[in-house]
Chains A and B, each alone.
Chain A
Amino acid sequence: MQSLTNISLKTIVKKQVKWKAKLNISALSSLIILLILFGALTSSSGSGSYGSGSGNLDVHFSIYSLDIFLIISAIWAFIVALLFTTKAYRIDDLSVVSSRTSSAIANILVMIIYSFIAVILMISTYYLQVLGVLLVEKKSLVIDHLFISPSVFILCFSSICLFGAIGLLFGTSFKGPVAIKLFLSTFILFSFIYIFMAPNSINLGSLMMLPNLMISVLYLLVATLCFSLTIWIANKSEVSRK
């Protein structure tokens, strides 16, 4: 009898990551378009503005910050992750050597890579916007922080990663075993009820006061939890090719 091929999970995951990252580059280009679009839209008023006048003096502030770009990137990551778990992409995985585990891990690694690239793109767009404002609008700028500190970078990365992780988890759960779907629906239902019934018990204010790095660690921990759950659910899922 023929000798069988022995292949390690690591090798397959590496190959899948290579091909997936290459083939889905269009996701990144769509992010660039989104960022530039919003950058252009908010270039006159920034992510916040404030105006006040008294007598002959009118003062307008426009605040330019990373906020809007971060929000866009996070939502983008969520949607892309969700898309990765849709039928078309799942079925594509079956055309090469793969298992549900290897595909799930590959998706996770690709999301992490894309999140990293997204942060770079995000920051670049921010700088472009500031430059644009400087050159085109000829407003006077007060610069608070010129260089993005590493802790902010990590915070952005963690946020985007987190949204990507949640997206993957959601997508994977919807195709998972019935028990998972039931659990997820109940969980969401209860969360909504809780939020509306007792909003005061959730103290986001103190959360925001924490230093950047701590928040990042928290986000990354939750992301890791989501990733682990994603792999766990994927392991149990059957494939439907209809």
Chain B
Amino acid sequence: MHVHLHGTTPIYIQIAEWLQHEIIADRLQADEKVYSQYQLAELFNINPATAGKGLTILLEEQLLYKKRGLGMFVTMDAKERILLKRRNEILTKMAQEIVLEAKRLLVSDEDLLVLIRKTQEGLE
């Protein structure tokens, strides 16, 4: 993965998301040691402090835990929690967008629900 330097997402958030991706993909297993900020810095060609910020985000969300003097490790239920969070986030965001767009296109709330129902039935 290349860090998108000129994108709109701050680099440290991209790092956090990449790490979460690695956890979901089982490339980082539970209780396994994650990359240090220095390793991430070298891997992505970024400042270690920035990499450290990304690790801190995961630490605060308790997806990682610290072992004194040894580094950071993946929490037991990290994978499940990330998946859950993603589902909620992504779906919530999509729902917001669809509701907004419907409003812009002057579609009523009831019509929108009908449309969604139809789509679900269509997929079954």
A and B touch in the complex (CB under 8 A): no
Chain A interface residues toward B at CB < 8 A: none
Chain B interface residues toward A at CB < 8 A: none
